[in-house]
Structure 1
Amino acid sequence: MARRSRRVLVLTAVDAEREAVLAGLATAGKAARGFDVATVGAGPAAAAAAAMYHLLVEDASRRLDLVVSAGIGGGFAPAAPVGSLAVAESVVAADLGAQAPEGFVPIAELGFGRSEHRPPARLSRAVATALGAAYGPVLTVTTVTGTGERAAELAGRHPGAVAEGMEGFGVAEAAAYLEIPVLEIRGISNAVGPRDRAAWRIGDALAALTAAFGMLPGVLEVEAGHDDS
């Protein structure tokens, strides 16, 4: 019996990211036939709300195997340079918590919820390897980092962090409620640190995202074969 394609919902913040993903999937041929792509808006709250809508309404008739939060974001040097890719080992709510005299306290340590989600380890690592991507924590922030001090603080609190974005944790929260695995993939448009808009390379980051989604369907087919073996 032929194995069915994985059913995958890819969620981006904005239309430019969605178009980059679709351009990649268009090159993947039949391997991409189980993919849908939608936008959810910027920030974790919009992402969580729109992701849940898509999961419960737009995709209610499909049994999804995977949700992917995809887009561009900042990269932590030297792990994820501009124009490269990052894949999340963990999806972290980096600024959800409380400030205390001793420093930042994550919401999980306060006892009020989760601070991170972990994609399937074998799958996320295999995707990172196949895409040639940096692999480590990807931080979800509600305010994009704009100073060296803030970048150092985040890197110190989250050793091995490779990137930051604004939607991953929101998408992961929605997927977790329905017990659907999640991945996060980022094309790197800028270095996390002092804000220098002139140095951003959004086109390069979108091109990296297109390349990633040209390869991702084939990677998932291979991993599905491993699951069946």
Structure 2
Amino acid sequence: MTLVIATATQTEMKAVLLGFNRRGRIGCKFPSMGECCETPVNNHQCLLVVTGVGPVNAALSIGRILGERKDITGVLNLGVAGSFDLEQAPLGSLVVADSEIWPEYGLHTADGIDPEGIKFPLWEYNGVDGPYTVWDRMELEPEKAFRLLDLSPPRELLKGASMTVSGVTGTEERARMLTERYNPLTENMEGFSIALACLQAGIPFLELRTVSNLVGSRKAEHWKLDDALQALGRFARELFV
């Protein structure tokens, strides 16, 4: 059985591989955007996938894999993210998503977006506790996913709500609005799509990201991408110990 390790970019995938083997490469062709590559990682058979940036690329890449292969046991989504609060999630810290939010789904009104305003949910299914409807938020179960995927939670692990956007938040005003309305901890561009694909396929999903920046700020002191990538590799290695 095969575990998908998905990153949005080759840069993030290389950081993960550097954490695994300090070489940043593997025994097969390094995956380009939209491609995948099979490789063992300790006792796991893995499929490395570079989805491309954004929710559409993520949905297409993971959806294609899940449609073509029936041996996928789950998806591990690794990468970097922005933090809405550097006191709660400092630069370089690792955050596991316990929910995913898509703030762009629904009916745009003068008071903001109403996710149920268009009357069409993203997904409906019967869960353990009864019927469940997905609008603009999904609750995740990272502890259960760690166990089902036989992965080790890193020691320095934070937990919080992750928000998926099509366009990165570039102003403090928008960051404040999103915080007040949704109370997210981190911002990313792929997680919701992959989480929904896994929900529909009935397989575990786990999303872990290191903090590279403060959401809404373009100041140099609020961006530490290289540090976040190094931390991503270090934490990725801990998952497979």
Match of 1:36 in 2: 47
The 1:182/1:102 distance shift into structure 2, 3 A limit, reads same
Structure 2 unaligned residues grouped into runs of 5+? 23-39, 123-133
Identity of aligned residues (%): 31
Match of 1:91 in 2: 100
Alpha-carbon shift at residue 179 of structure 1 (Å):
1.0
Q: Does residue 70 of structure 1 match 2:78?
A: yes
Match of 2:169 in 1: 145
Instruction: Provide TM-score, normalisation by structure 1.
Output: 0.80
Match of 1:224 in 2: none
Q: 2:137 aligns with which of 97, 113, 116?
A: 116
Alpha-carbon shift at residue 23 of structure 1 (Å):
2.3
Supply the distance in 1 between the matched residues of 2:19 and 2:162 (Cα, whole angstroms). Answer: 22
Match of 1:221 in 2: none
Q: 1:23 aligns with which of 18, 23, 30?
A: 18
The number of residues matched between the two structures is 208
Match of 2:218 in 1: 195
| More strand by percentage | 2
Cα deviation digits, residues 74-126 of structure 1 (max 9, x gap): 01212111111111001111222232122222258844323223332433688
Alpha-carbon shift at residue 67 of structure 1 (Å):
0.6
Alpha-carbon shift at residue 152 of structure 1 (Å):
1.1
CA-atom RMSD, angstroms? 2.6
Amino acid at match of 1:47: A
Supply the distance in 2 between the matched residues of 1:66 and 1:56 (Cα, whole angstroms). Answer: 13
| More helix by percentage | 1
Amino acid at match of 2:177: E
Structure 1 unaligned residues grouped into runs of 5+? 1-5, 219-229
Instruction: Provide TM-score, normalisation by structure 2.
Output: 0.76
Alpha-carbon shift at residue 181 of structure 1 (Å):
1.4
The 1:136/1:152 distance shift into structure 2, 3 A limit, reads same
Supply the distance in 2 between the matched residues of 1:196 and 1:109 (Cα, whole angstroms). Answer: 38
8 Å CA contact 2:97, 2:142 repeated in 1? no
